[in-house]
Structure 1
Amino acid sequence: MNARFRQFLSTLAETFWVVPAALVIAGICLAIGLLHIDRSGTLPQALTRSAWIYNGGGAGARTLLGVIASSTIGVAGTVFSITIAALSLAAGQMGPRLLQNFTRDRGVQLTLGAFLGTFSYALMVVRSVRTDEEGVFTPHLALTVGIVLAFACVGTLVYFVAHMASRINVDTVVNLVSEDVRVAVRSLRTEEQQGDVPPASFWTGMSEVPDNRRGYLNHLDQSALADWAAQHGTVIRLLVRQGDYVFPGAPIALTTGSIPEVAAAIRNATALGETRGSAGNAGHAVRQLVEVAVRALSPGINDPHTAMSVLDRLGAALCDIAGHHLPNGVSTRNDAVVLVVPNTGYHGMVNMMFHMIRQNAAGSTAVLIRLLDVLTAAILCESVADRRAILAHHVELVWADAQRNLGNKTDLDDVFARYLIFQRAVQDGALGMINASSGNQRG
């Protein structure tokens, strides 16, 4: 699938107006269909005389539809105002990049669409009502359905209030973003190891491929680009990864030979956007989660519990990766390398998760302790020596920051106790961690 088409589908799925517009069209089509049934006279007499069907006249019908239309459009404005207030609160406390998690919320979209669709339905029905002077026509079935829609809107409003009250809760936002991280990480991991990345000397003498576009690389059709490279007997080495900014005129790739069509092939396989991030991008989801923690640690908010909650989710993501390979960006065809895309990898992922949080939590004893606990849990899940060395390096960074920034000896001793627990966990696993914890309690 073309990268631009995938970006279009992703953008369409996250656009706020699509669902409300669809419900407005559905309301109009429903009104036209029910009015056709009312005009056809095919409704049985027993049904039209039933107490469940509207039996009033034209004047009453117009009044009822007018009330439904005016009330639904008024409440729709209130829903929109509440949504804007929630967006402002989210932008201030959790970061503006998390706004898309609210705008793509189907609950908000369906609520607004329900009121706008009912409003459109009432307008379409009221224009067909005729009194005695105009030639009597009262759409009984359409009026009855309009009343049902009005009651449905009442239930939707109750749902919306409860839904928004939960969505602006920071724990709910953390859970939603961490679910994005979990899904993205699980989509990355593989059971089989890919081919080795060619050494730097392999790219000597290759031609640069400039790109005059600008924006963030959000989508890449890696398979299609690898197929193209194999068909044309060339090797392509992209210089940017998903989420990186493409600067106009700067090289976007290296390639063997001088094939004029390579620039067009790269443009067709990539899609740029004005903002960073795309669905399924693990790096983007991790950055969103880290931003929540960094903002929580700012002096204006000072909410270390949120930062610790984020750390727990990041540790769970590392445990999801344990025992699995991550793609290294190498694509082969017939056992020959045809495309290399720079990937974040395990080292880059761990740096992305913990560097900014550790730097902003340097003076917070509680957060540093939780960070050490998370790294301890992660290393108990991980068996690969290189990855365990990366986790151990971050533990040393935490301990160094604690020594430099914590002036209270008791706080420093608490951090050191967790540091020793990590060391015992590295040596003896969970049993060593338990023994270290017992020794600290006796001390």
Structure 2
Amino acid sequence: MHRWNAMRASFWFLPCVIVALAIALAVTLTHLDGSALEQWMKRYPRLFGASAAGGREMLSTVAGSMISVVGIVFSMTLVALALASSQYSSRVLRTFMRSRVTQASIGIFAGIFVYCLIVLRGVHGTDDSVFVPVLAVSVAMLLAIVGVVVLIVFIHHIALSIQASTILANIAEETIDAMASIFPQMDDPSLANQSQADAAAAALVETLCWIAVPAPKSGYLQSVDHAALLHIACEGKLIVRVERDVGQFVLADTPIFSVSGESASARTACALHATIAVSPYRTVEQDPAFGVRQLVDVALKALSPGVNDTTTAVQCLDYIGAVMATMARRAIPSPYRYAEGELKIVVVAPDFASMLAAAFDQIRRSAGGNVAVILRMIASIDMLGSLAVGKGRQEDLLAQLDYLAEISARTVPAPHDSALVARRLAPVRRALAAGCVRRSQAAPPSLRCES
């Protein structure tokens, strides 16, 4: 899965696949030309009839045009990447690189160029013999038209993709998908009677003797293959503890796993290393906190004195609220994994409070005196309070509200603005302090589309 995600985020994989398909198409169509096409050539001479010189000229024109367009596409892509890096954050670049439209556009233009080269090689026109792969040449003309359409679509895509709203929406969508795959629903049957088993597991963990397995290299823990980890633990009759959470930075030769069991050996360490991916960069698939990190980075850049773009910062808070709402409605997965009722794996459990702090703390510290951003943070906390389930989460939100009240009192000098913030804070504080979830008190019936 790690390798597949890395290939999907690269500029080379999909273009190479398309180029390979273009090569196969060119070879196939060149060999298909023969007597079977003579009837079509006689019936539509203006469409399929072409001399060797004419075929070469058209193929050369299309090939030259496509390689020029490839250069234009690369230039536009690099300009978009540079603009996104400087104006938003360098961490959003992988969102651009994962764009299927950009990858497919590069592949289609390069594929058409390679196709024309191969067909051009098959055109023979001498005194002794003349061979023109008419079908292949005709397809080249159609591919040239396709290339023009793709170029128009690519320019439209680039114009949309550098807009702040598009970037933030893509990051939020990817993060919400990652959260939905990691955090179970509140009514998940697997959560039933879990607290009692987890309490016994926590007591057992404290009594075990652990052997450290050091990290193979330094970098960010990008992913963990939990299925493979469970297989190793069951096969070796071991209990494996993962010492770092996905997204954390690990140092070479510091513990990344701890193992308890008599069968632990050097082969076990090698097998455990194969279940993790340590990389120079983070990804969102198993690390939704990185998605939140990207949204926060864009907000911080927008609030910096050199940019001072309050609207973009407010948009970031809107999407941060959407991401945190997904987590607020879901349960926190247990750090303990079992097989046939026996404890096998212990992982670092995510925490709502820490995710909330990652989402709001840095923005709050950079938003001193900015009433619009403070009010939007209050609105986000109000919305999360109406969705969050559990007393602990209400208390975490109330703490964030108190921090906002403090920074507002300290940095908002105008009496009118201070009074406005206070009026917004008061009802939200009362609701959170009472542990109210307004949606469950008097919410009207709702209809959901199941399609």
Distance in 1 of aligned mates of 2:95 and 2:384: 28
What root-mean-square deviation, in Å, do the aligned CA atoms of Structure 1 and Structure 2 show? Answer: 2.3
The alpha-carbon distance between structure 1 residues 46 and 239, as it changes in their structure 2 partners (threshold 3 A), is closer
Q: Find the counterpart in structure 2 of residue 321 from structure 1.
A: 327
Cα contact 2:371–2:412 (8 A) shared by 1:
yes
Q: Which has the higher contact order (CA 8 A, sep 6+)?
A: 1
User: 1:15 is matched by which residue type in structure 2?
Assistant: S
User: 1:12 is matched by which residue type in structure 2?
Assistant: M
Cα contact 1:53–1:141 (8 A) shared by 2:
no
Cα contact 1:20–1:112 (8 A) shared by 2:
yes
By how many angstroms is 1:267 displaced? Answer: 0.9
Q: Find the counterpart in structure 2 of residue 159 from structure 1.
A: 153
Point out where structure 2 has 5 or more consecutive residues left out of the alignment. Answer: 443-451
Q: Find the counterpart in structure 1 of residue 239 from structure 2.
A: 235
Q: Find the counterpart in structure 2 of residue 311 from structure 1.
A: 317
Distance in 2 of aligned mates of 1:88 and 1:399: 38
The normalised TM-score by structure 1 is 0.90
By how many angstroms is 1:424 displaced? Answer: 3.5
Please say if 1:396 is aligned against 2:391. no
Q: Indicate which of 100, 110, 114 corresponds to 1:116.
A: 110
Q: Indicate which of 174, 184, 187 corresponds to 1:180.
A: 174
By how many angstroms is 1:51 displaced? Answer: 5.4
Cα contact 2:401–2:429 (8 A) shared by 1:
no
- Percentage of matched positions with identical amino acids: 29
Cα contact 2:85–2:92 (8 A) shared by 1:
yes
SS of the aligned residue for 1:133 comes to coil
Q: Indicate which of 68, 79, 88 corresponds to 1:94.
A: 88
The alpha-carbon distance between structure 1 residues 148 and 231, as it changes in their structure 2 partners (threshold 3 A), is closer
More displaced 10-residue stretch of structure 1: 226-235 or 345-354: 226-235
The alpha-carbon distance between structure 1 residues 403 and 294, as it changes in their structure 2 partners (threshold 3 A), is same
Cα contact 1:219–1:278 (8 A) shared by 2:
no
SS of the aligned residue for 1:53 comes to helix
SS of the aligned residue for 1:305 comes to helix
User: 1:296 is matched by which residue type in structure 2?
Assistant: A
1:45-56 mapped onto 2 (5 Å cutoff): 45-50=39-44, 53-56=47-50
Show CA shifts across 1:140-194 (max 9, x none). 2111111111111111111111111000111000000010111011112212434
The alpha-carbon distance between structure 1 residues 130 and 49, as it changes in their structure 2 partners (threshold 3 A), is farther
The alpha-carbon distance between structure 1 residues 274 and 381, as it changes in their structure 2 partners (threshold 3 A), is same
Q: Find the counterpart in structure 2 of residue 273 from structure 1.
A: 279
User: 1:279 is matched by which residue type in structure 2?
Assistant: E
Cα contact 1:181–1:317 (8 A) shared by 2:
yes
Q: Find the counterpart in structure 1 of residue 220 from structure 2.
A: 216
By how many angstroms is 1:383 displaced? Answer: 3.0
Please say if 1:355 is aligned against 2:361. yes
The alpha-carbon distance between structure 1 residues 255 and 18, as it changes in their structure 2 partners (threshold 3 A), is closer
1:117-156 mapped onto 2 (5 Å cutoff): 117-133=111-127, 135-156=129-150
Q: Find the counterpart in structure 1 of residue 97 from structure 2.
A: 103
Q: Find the counterpart in structure 2 of residue 245 from structure 1.
A: 249
Cα contact 1:362–1:401 (8 A) shared by 2:
yes
The alpha-carbon distance between structure 1 residues 231 and 51, as it changes in their structure 2 partners (threshold 3 A), is same
The alpha-carbon distance between structure 1 residues 80 and 365, as it changes in their structure 2 partners (threshold 3 A), is same
Q: Indicate which of 16, 27, 36 corresponds to 2:11.
A: 16
The alpha-carbon distance between structure 1 residues 50 and 311, as it changes in their structure 2 partners (threshold 3 A), is same
By how many angstroms is 1:237 displaced? Answer: 2.2
More displaced 10-residue stretch of structure 1: 184-193 or 48-57: 48-57
By how many angstroms is 1:291 displaced? Answer: 1.4
Q: Indicate which of 26, 29, 39 corresponds to 2:24.
A: 29
More displaced 10-residue stretch of structure 1: 20-29 or 314-323: 314-323
Q: Find the counterpart in structure 1 of residue 448 from structure 2.
A: none
Cα contact 1:53–1:140 (8 A) shared by 2:
no
Distance in 1 of aligned mates of 2:388 and 2:100: 37
Show CA shifts across 1:389-439 (max 9, x none). 1111111111111112222222222211111121233346659x99xxxxx
Number of residues paired by the alignment?
427
SS of the aligned residue for 2:77 comes to helix
Please say if 1:264 is aligned against 2:270. yes
The alpha-carbon distance between structure 1 residues 41 and 343, as it changes in their structure 2 partners (threshold 3 A), is same
SS of the aligned residue for 2:122 comes to coil
By how many angstroms is 1:122 displaced? Answer: 1.0
User: 1:420 is matched by which residue type in structure 2?
Assistant: A
Distance in 1 of aligned mates of 2:42 and 2:416: 81
Point out where structure 1 has 5 or more consecutive residues left out of the alignment. Answer: 1-5, 435-443
User: 1:349 is matched by which residue type in structure 2?
Assistant: M
Q: Find the counterpart in structure 2 of residue 3 from structure 1.
A: none
Show CA shifts across 1:208-263 (max 9, x none). 33334222111112233234334434332221111112211212233335622442
Please say if 1:408 is aligned against 2:403. no
Q: Indicate which of 422, 426, 433 corresponds to 1:420.
A: 426
SS of the aligned residue for 2:222 comes to strand
The alpha-carbon distance between structure 1 residues 250 and 280, as it changes in their structure 2 partners (threshold 3 A), is closer
User: 2:228 is matched by which residue type in structure 1?
Assistant: A
Cα contact 1:10–1:278 (8 A) shared by 2:
no
